Amino acid sequence: MPELGVIMTMPRILTSSTRFARKHSGFIKESLKEEMILHWRRRIPDHFKQSARSKYRYEKRGSRYKRRKAQRFGSRRDLVKTRGTEQKFTAFYDRIRAGGSVGKGQITVTLVLKWPFPTGKNAAPGVRVTVMDMAREIEATTVSEQQQIFNGFRDRYLRKFNAGLSDRVRRNVKVAF
């Protein structure tokens, strides 16, 4: 799905603690996972609408292809023939993978969607748009969507971070002289 880079700077005192680094890493992964689920729910369905062609810059389909598709399936929308792909991609996601660590400087979260039909890397003869092209079309995001994803991630992360700081156990120590 969309690949975005975020650079975060933390005070040295916070990053020197391994306990904090683990919590920080967990907060980032949880926040990114939640944002990917939101992306899947809100933005992936937009890729199957007629207006998506210009919004996400889809590959050009030939007039003969569009005519045959309309006759056979009754639809000229990109990425949709029998609506199987649309229903599969918008009904559920296969899984979300999170990996990496703050110590290594990179955390990745991947939203995995599987095609509802067998795929191969090579296109059939005479086919202009391959499965790899369609995958790129579904992965495409606009600049405003990238900004929304970043803002959502930042807000979620800050909420978790602030809640995590207030969760720590406080001990009152009595000092006697």
> What digits encode the pLDDT tens for the residues 55-85?
888 888 888 888 887 888 777 777 766 677 7
First to last CA, the chain: 62
Flag whether pLDDT at 2 surpasses 60.
Answer: no
Flag whether pLDDT at 118 surpasses 60.
Answer: yes
Q: At what angle do helices 143-166 and 18-42 cross, to 10 degrees?
A: 140
- When pLDDT is cut at 50, 70 and 90, the band that residue 126 belongs to is low
Flag whether pLDDT at 177 surpasses 50.
Answer: no
Separation of alpha carbons 111 and 40, rounded Å: 8
pTM, whole model, 2 decimals? 0.74
Flag whether pLDDT at 122 surpasses 60.
Answer: no
- Annotated domain spans of the chain: 12-166
